[in-house]
Amino acid sequence: MSSPDTLPDASGVLSWFPVELPPQQRVLGLFVAKWAIGALRPLVQLRVPDLLADGSRTARDLAEETGAHGDSLYRVLRCAAAIGVLRELPGGLFALTPAGEGLRSGTPGSAREMFLFASDPMMWRPYEDVLHSVRTGAPSFEHVFGTSFFAYLEENPAGAELFDRAMVQNHYPGTDRIFEQYDFGRFPRIADVGGGRGQFLAEVLSRFPQCTGVLCDQPQVVAQAREEFERRGVAGRASVAETDFFTGLPSGCDAYFVKHTLHNWDDERAGTILRRVREAVGDDAGARLLIVDMLLTGPGEWDLGKLTDIEMMVALGGRERSRDEWNRLAAAAGFEPANDPAPGDLALLEYRPVPAS
């Protein structure tokens, strides 16, 4: 079997699949992702990775434990082993690989809830009609479900709970790089705009004990934030402001960071959030807007953000942005760039307020 590097015209995701196909058929390798996700989802739903935590077990044993159909379970186990999530051993045994460990529940670094969220029908079905978004510019989620994504979560508590669990686990590796490279200690008081349960703010405060912070989000979203602050040992330096970031934000903070939030919205709605930040900053020339989001690369360059941009388009009506796009959005709200991060990954973009004329 040829390696991807020896195949002509294989680049980006097409180079990931070691399938010997002529260049004009390389796209067929993308089917692998569908088949793999389809096989893994029932295994995660049945908590098979948890059942394998203490050692290898047979497909028959796992079927009895989970109440599954024996032969069908074996076939998805075999598929999971073929893609490297499990190991198939002699004697019909299956064991976890390091990748499979990441699908266990309640373990450090687990991606279980993120996987279940990404493969849930509410995130899968919009891809059945991406053409609707391409033709209309509107999210196909609304076309499929008859309501917006966030309205759907309000109407479906189970979906909302899954979303919340996934966001708690949403620790992208680029976040660690941001913490290592950026000095949040410059800002005595920090506002986390749209920060959910406050995990990011709690991490900032735990790393920079000289800082205090305020979590700004809607009441139902921040309901469990105090528990998170207690768990992280920062409750004495963290407060909660129940607010709608489209209508207003608390003033008096030295930095307002917005992490993985603006990409949920189109330019009009994202611009509204930034204008609320500018209003909160007021005349404080030393205050800063800190945007933590994907920063897209130039034309033709590989970039994960160009893939997640499709998710933003079809599910939320939002978008990932290039530096020029971020700068235009910030300028319209009254900010100018104060740093120059590299594109192609999660980035922290720092902006300073432009004095009112």
Rounded Cα distance, 33 and 10, in Å: 17
| C-beta atoms surrounding 38 within 10 Å | 12
Q: Which two structure tokens, joined as six digits, stand for 244?
A: 């709608």
pLDDT at 9 over 80: no
Interacting residues of 346 by C-beta distance below 8 A, sequence separation 6+: 172, 174, 175, 177, 178, 292, 293, 294, 295
Give the pLDDT of residue 3. 40
Task: Give the H or E element holding residue 332.
Answer: helix 323-333
Which of 321, 313, 325, 318 has its CA nearest to residue 135? Answer: 313
Interval 6-21 mean pLDDT: 58
Rounded Cα distance, 17 and 31, in Å: 10
Residue identified by tokens 């009441």 is 219
Rounded Cα distance, 109 and 176, in Å: 13
Give the pLDDT of residue 4. 39
Strand partners, 255: 190, 288
DSSP at 321: B
Interacting residues of 303 by C-beta distance below 8 A, sequence separation 6+: 294, 296, 297, 343, 344
Tens of pLDDT, residue by residue over 301-344, are: 889 999 999 999 999 999 999 999 999 999 999 999 999 999 99
Give the pLDDT of residue 62. 98
Angle between helices 225-232 and 199-207 (to 10 degrees): 30
Give the pLDDT of residue 17. 64
Residue 282 corresponds to which amino acid?
Answer: G
Percent share of the chain, pLDDT over 70 = 94
- Where b means 16+ CB within 10 Å and e means fewer, 8-23 reads eebeeebbebebeeee
Of 6-10, 16-20, 27-31, 163-167, which one has max mean pLDDT?
163-167
Rounded Cα distance, 236 and 212, in Å: 9
Cα distances from 299 to residues 97, 263, 267, 296, 345, in angstroms, run 37, 20, 21, 9, 15
For the chain, give the mean pLDDT: 92
Give the pLDDT of residue 13. 63
pTM of the model: 0.87
Tens of pLDDT, residue by residue over 98-154, are: 999 999 998 988 999 999 999 999 999 999 999 999 999 999 999 999 999 999 999
Which of 256, 287, 277 has its CA nearest to residue 191? Answer: 256
Q: How confident is the model at residue 221 (pLDDT cuts 50, 70, 90)?
A: confident
